[in-house]
């Protein structure tokens, strides 16, 4: 609690929390650069809360500062109305607050990290003194098409509202970086997802997918340029115990973006047959005694932290996901990363104790990947990227002292990912080159339609002449950009900001997503972008988070995938002339692939089964001829045939199935000419109704592994 006399003016005139920026001199609140109207008294309340982020501002303090002459009855009414209006402007909720927490009968607390644009410091809310569990507030994001982004998910909801933070004040210090000497470990061409030091701190274990082959497990030493391959099919390293017991992941399969899962197994470092433990695991780490494992475990659409296995410490759903769990050297807490956007590596570094009390210890990062405890147990090492002007700077390595200091330790012109820290504080890290690429296959002729460094295909016109692109990355700046490009390879035309979803039947407009919403809230909304002359039109302004849509043949209705607050995704129909959307599938089942006559919708459930839902509401049926886990691509010309794709391995195989008889026919095999580093997550596949033209996107990761030691 703060002293009533301690509420003097803050030093900085412009501060940020989440996607909101406050100009204290001008009395303005802006969201993603758009001014939000806030009345005078609600703004004064916000000003008071911003002066002491994370601390209790009592009702008495607000009375003395804003309503000094009001009676207590009038003041109670005035402050309640002011706070309610402020929450409305921020899209906040008293029951599930993201920004303003009510402390009953006492006052209010701003629970979001606050950043000053005029300071080199990132100001983070101090610890909540009553020890309550901290609230997360990133919007749920879920979308049936796979995606992967450096900054936030392409084709996903971009709900960068801020998570409540507990813990000490974290300051970003900017002294000269420590000089490091790099010792190269790997020499292959492809992707590295995970690496760990052996118990001696000198040997190294890593998983690598070289030259388009499945992931293989390797053992190496710093002084030798050669790596020894374990005779295991498709295995990656997760953790190494002090006694040399390995926790590995067998058959790691990409899901959405960076999300993956496989079968957890253990084996001695010297080799031998793995002992399978549990399926649907993504990450794991041994405790300090090497007896129990902390894991990231998927149970349907819910992502859980378990420690030990079977005991859920913390879990998320609705598109949020967790990664990189690491047990503290003291064994009393877990460090991990929480990502609020499905499949995207944007997010926060967090801690949770064994009683499930969680706190976020950093601000939001555009990309955060890899975390490791310092041997002292007093700090964490992680790699993340932030904005620098209008661009995103490459991912760098940071050291976070839990007592309050955040230091950028190593940064280069390329992305760095920290994997582990030795007892002598040697860093095991990879230099990564990441790209999102697009290929078209027109009657067997391959054309590269990629644009800039990160571009993704989001739709293909029925005639096969135009591809809808979403572009992000260093070249695109901080926002998403929507382009339309001809499949003949001519330069694309920029249509506006947001991310693309569907080309209209007449080709004159594009259905897109405004990731930051419209108005006062940050819920992703549907917009129309003209292909030629015209202006953007906002189609929806409601509480439903919109993740992607498609046009009905009459172009007066759309089907979209979305979710109500705290609910799973489902499919909805929206009349473009107005009216409330109507759900047409139960929660957990969604899709946007409409039949040519607009009478049927192809959907996918949480188990990966493809269903055909009659729009009129009749009983749905599984798609005959489709196999579990396959991706729905498009309806054929006559509405009886359907294209599906299997993207677990390269090449991606596209089948034509007869939904009446179930007959399957292999139609096309899709793979980049150079498969090195391509993550087999090619679920962004589009086709023309006649099956002559295909367009698909894929992510390429090329890594070199190093050990870095301070000079």
Confidence grade of residue 8 (pLDDT, cut at 50, 70, 90): very low
pLDDT in tens, 553-582: 999 999 999 988 778 789 999 999 888 999
Sequence-ordered list of residues with C-beta below 8 angstroms from that of 652, at least 6 positions apart, any chain: 645, 646, 669, 670, 671, 680, 682, 685, 696
| Those residues with Cβ within 8 angstroms of residue 176's Cβ, 6 or more apart along the chain or in another chain | none
Strand partners, 622: 611
Give whole-number Cα distances, 259 to 141, 296, 685, in Å. Answer: 13, 11, 19
The C-alpha atoms of residue 411 and residue 396 are separated, in whole angstroms, by 5
- Estimate the crossing angle of helix 40-51 against helix 59-66, to 10 degrees: 130
For residue 92, give the CATH number of its domain: 1.10.10.10
394: domain CATH number is 2.120.10.30
Q: How confident is the model at residue 27 (pLDDT cuts 50, 70, 90)?
A: confident
Note whether residue 524 is domain-resident: yes
* Residue finishing a domain among 101, 119, 137: 119
**pLDDT at residue 139 is higher than 60:** no
CA distance 262 to 248: 9
Backbone angles phi, psi at 89, to 5 degrees: -65, -35
What mean pLDDT comes out for the span 530-547? Answer: 90
State the total domains in the chain. 3
- C-alpha dihedral over 186, 198, 279, 568, to 10 degrees? -70
* 415 and 342 co-located in one domain: yes
140 pLDDT higher than 50: no
DSSP per-residue codes, 339-356 = ESSTT---BEEEEEETT-
Sole residue written with tokens 């594009």: 510
Query: CA 621, CA 368: separation in Å to the nearest integer?
Result: 41
Please state, in angstroms and rounded to a whole number, the distance separating the CA atoms of residues 468 and 548.
13
Same domain, 536 and 648: yes
Which residues are within 8 A (CB) of 182 and not within 5 positions of it... i.e. 6 or more apart?
Answer: 706, 707, 708
- pLDDT at position 141 is 29
In a domain, 444, yes or no: no
Q: How confident is the model at residue 516 (pLDDT cuts 50, 70, 90)?
A: low
What residues pair up with 597 in beta bridges, in sequence order? none
CA R_g for the chain: 26
Query: Are 343 and 425 found together in one domain?
Result: yes
Please state the φ and ψ torsions of residue 85, each to the nearest 5 degrees. -65, -40
pLDDT for the residue numbered 30 = 79
CA distances from 171 to 116, 335, 510 (A): 11, 19, 43
Co-location of 200 and 106 in the same domain: no
306 plus 179 within the same structural domain: yes
Sign of CA dihedral 309, 310, 316, 320: positive
CB 305 within 8 A of CB 336: yes
Under 8 Å between Cβ of 708 and 181: yes
- Sheet with 275-286: strands ordered across: 235-240, 245-254, 260-268, 275-286, 293-299, 302-306, 312-316
Do the beta carbons of residue 500 and residue 458 sit within 8 Å?
Answer: yes
Mean of the per-residue pLDDT values for the chain? 84
* pTM, entire model: 0.73
Q: Quick one: 413 and 541 in the same domain?
A: no
Task: Report which of 313, 309, 308, 318 is spatially closest to residue 339, judged by C-alpha positions.
Answer: 318
Residue 437 in any domain: the answer is no
Torsion, Cα of 544, 513, 607, 644 (10° steps): 140
pLDDT of residue 650: 82
Question: CA 152, 157, 159: angle at the middle one, nearest 5?
Answer: 75
Res. 82: pLDDT tops 50: yes
Shortest CA distance to 138 belongs to which of 473, 364, 385? 364
Using DSSP's 3-state secondary structure scheme, residue 89 falls into: helix
Instruction: Give which of 103, 104, 120, 123 is closest to 112, Cα–Cα.
Output: 123
Q: What is the pLDDT of residue 467?
A: 97
Q: Nearest CA to 114 among 164, 66, 159?
A: 164
For the segment 233-289, what is each residue's pLDDT rounded down to a tens digit?
899 999 999 999 999 999 998 777 789 999 999 999 999 999 999 999 999 999 999
Q: Are residues 631 and 571 in the same domain?
A: yes
Q: Are 31 and 522 in contact (CB under 8 A)?
A: yes
Nearest by Cα to 418 from 254, 180, 220 = 180
Residues sharing a CB contact under 8 Å with residue 150, sequence separation 6 or more, in sequence order? 345, 366, 367, 385, 392, 434, 454, 472, 473
Q: Please tell me the predicted confidence (pLDDT) of residue 683.
A: 65
Judged by average pLDDT, the poorest of 72-81, 687-696, 697-706 is 72-81
Q: What is the pLDDT of residue 681?
A: 66
Q: Note whether 190 and 105 are same-domain residues.
A: no
Helix (H/G/I), strand (E/B), else coil: 251: strand
Task: Choose the final residue of a domain: 377, 398, 432.
Answer: 432
| pLDDT tops 90 at residue 461 | yes
Cis peptide before 651 (omega within 30 of 0): yes
Listed range (49-53, 299-303, 341-345, 523-527) with the worst mean pLDDT: 341-345
Do 106 and 191 reside in the same domain of the chain?
no
Picking from 102, 119, 136, the residue at the C-terminal end of a domain is: 119
Using the predicted structure, report yes or no on whether residue 323 has a pLDDT greater than 60: yes
Q: Are residues 531 and 678 in the same domain?
A: yes
Query: What pLDDT does residue 521 have?
Result: 53
Could you list the residue range(s) of the whole structural domain that residue 540 is in?
A: 501-695
Write phi, then psi, for 625 (nearest 5 degrees): 90, -15
Query: In this structure, is residue 343 part of a structural domain?
Result: yes
Residue 159 resides in a domain: no
Residue 90 reports pLDDT greater than 60: yes
In a 13 Å sphere around the CA of 65, the CA atoms on its Cβ side amount to 24
Backbone angles phi, psi at 4, to 5 degrees: -65, -25
Residue 151 counted as domain residue:
no
297 and 381 assigned to the same domain: yes
Say if 253 falls within a structural domain. Answer: yes
- DSSP E strands: which ranges in 367-448? 367-373, 379-385, 387-388, 391-392, 396-401, 405-410, 415-421, 427-442, 445-448
Sequence-ordered alpha helix ranges (H) in 126-226: none
Does position 161 have pLDDT exceeding 60, yes or no?
A: no
Lowest mean pLDDT across 52-61, 262-271, 625-634, 695-704:
52-61
Strand order in the sheet with 396-401: 171-173, 405-410, 396-401, 379-385, 367-373
Kind of pairing between the strands at 631-635 and 245-254: unpaired
- Of the candidates 475, 473, 389, the residue with the CA atom closest to the CA atom of residue 436: 473
Expressed in angstroms, the distance from the first to the final Cα of the chain is 45
Summarize pLDDT for 429-442 with one digit per residue, the tens: 999 998 989 999 98
Q: Give 508: exposed, middle or buried? Use CB within 10 Å, 0-12, 13-18, 19+.
A: middle
The separation between CA 65 and the C-alpha centre of its own chain, rounded to angstroms, equals 41
Q: Do 554 and 672 belong together in one domain?
A: yes
Residue 312 forms part of a structural domain: yes
Q: What share of the chain is helix, strand, coil (3-state, %, to 5)?
A: 5, 45, 45
């Amino acid at each position: 609690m703060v002293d009533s006399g301690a509420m003097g003016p803050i030093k900085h005139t412009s501060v940020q929390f989440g996607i909101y920026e406050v100009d204290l001199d001008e009395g303005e609140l802006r969201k993603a650069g758009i001014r939000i109207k806030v009345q005078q008294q609600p703004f004064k309340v916000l000003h008071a809360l911003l002066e002491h982020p994370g601390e209790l501002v009592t009702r008495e303090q607000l009375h003395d500062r804003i309503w000094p002459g009001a009676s207590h009855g009038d003041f109670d009414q005035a402050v309640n109305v002011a706070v309610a209006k402020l929450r409305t402007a921020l899209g906040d909720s008293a029951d599930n607050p993201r920004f303003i927490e009510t402390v009953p009968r006492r006052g209010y607390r701003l629970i979001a990290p606050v950043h000053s644009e005029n300071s080199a410091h990132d100001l983070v809310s101090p610890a909540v003194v009553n020890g309550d569990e901290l609230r997360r507030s990133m919007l749920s994001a879920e979308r049936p098409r796979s995606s992967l982004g450096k900054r936030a998910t392409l084709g996903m909801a971009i709900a960068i509202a801020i998570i409540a933070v507990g813990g000490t004040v974290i300051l970003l210090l900017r002294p000269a970086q420590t000089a490091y000497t790099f010792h190269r470990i790997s020499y292959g061409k492809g992707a590295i997802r995970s690496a760990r030091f052996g118990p001696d701190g000198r040997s190294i274990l890593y998983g690598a997918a070289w030259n388009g082959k499945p992931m293989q497990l390797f053992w190496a030493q710093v002084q030798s340029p050669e790596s020894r391959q374990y005779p295991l099919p498709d295995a990656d390293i997760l953790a190494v115990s002090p006694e040399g017991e390995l926790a590995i992941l067998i058959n790691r399969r990409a899901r959405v973006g960076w999300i993956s899962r496989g079968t957890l197994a253990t084996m001695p470092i010297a080799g031998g047959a793995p002992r399978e433990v549990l399926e649907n695991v993504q990450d794991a780490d041994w405790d300090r005694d090497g007896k129990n494992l902390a894991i990231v475990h998927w149970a349907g659409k819910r992502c859980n932290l378990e420690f030990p296995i079977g005991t859920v410490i913390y879990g998320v759903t609705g598109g949020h996901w967790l990664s990189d769990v690491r047990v503290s050297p003291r064994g009393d807490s877990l460090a991990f990363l929480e990502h609020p956007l499905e499949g995207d590596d944007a997010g926060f570094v967090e801690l949770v104790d064994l009683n499930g009390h969680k706190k976020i210890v950093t601000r939001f990062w555009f990309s955060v990947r890899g975390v490791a405890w310092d041997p002292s147990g007093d700090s964490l090492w992680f790699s993340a990227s932030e904005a620098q002007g209008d661009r995103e700077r490459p991912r760098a390595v940071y050291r976070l002292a839990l007592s309050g200091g955040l230091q950028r330790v190593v940064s280069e012109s390329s992305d760095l990912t920290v994997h582990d820290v030795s007892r002598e504080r040697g860093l095991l890290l990879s230099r990564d080159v990441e790209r999102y690429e697009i290929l078209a296959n027109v009657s067997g002729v391959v054309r590269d339609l990629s644009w800039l460094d990160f571009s993704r295909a989001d739709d293909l016109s029925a005639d096969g002449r135009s591809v809808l692109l979403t572009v992000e990355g260093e070249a695109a700046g901080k926002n998403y950009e929507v382009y339309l490009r001809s499949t003949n390879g001519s330069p694309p035309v920029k249509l506006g900001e947001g991310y693309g979803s569907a080309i209209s039947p007449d080709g004159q407009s594009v259905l897109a997503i405004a990731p930051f919403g419209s108005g006062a809230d940050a819920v992703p909304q549907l917009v129309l972008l003209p292909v030629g002359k015209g202006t953007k039109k906002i189609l929806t302004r409601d509480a439903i988070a919109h993740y992607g849509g498609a046009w009905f043949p009459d172009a007066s209705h759309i089907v979209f995938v979305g979710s109500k607050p705290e609910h799973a995704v489902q499919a909805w129909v929206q009349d473009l002339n107005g009216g409330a959307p109507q759900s047409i599938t139960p929660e957990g089942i969604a899709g946007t692939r409409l039949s040519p006559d607009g009478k049927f919708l192809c959907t996918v459930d949480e188990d990966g089964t493809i269903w055909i839902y009659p729009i009129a509401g009749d009983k749905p049926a599984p798609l005959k001829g489709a196999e579990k886990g396959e991706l729905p691509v498009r309806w054929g010309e006559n509405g009886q045939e359907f294209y599906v794709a299997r993207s677990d391995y390269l090449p991606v195989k596209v089948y034509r199935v007869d939904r009446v008889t179930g007959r399957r026919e292999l139609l096309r095999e899709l793979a980049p000419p150079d498969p090195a580093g391509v993550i087999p997550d090619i679920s962004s596949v589009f086709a023309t109704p006649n099956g002559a033209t295909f367009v698909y996107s894929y992510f390429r990761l090329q890594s070199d592994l190093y050990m870095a030691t301070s000079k």
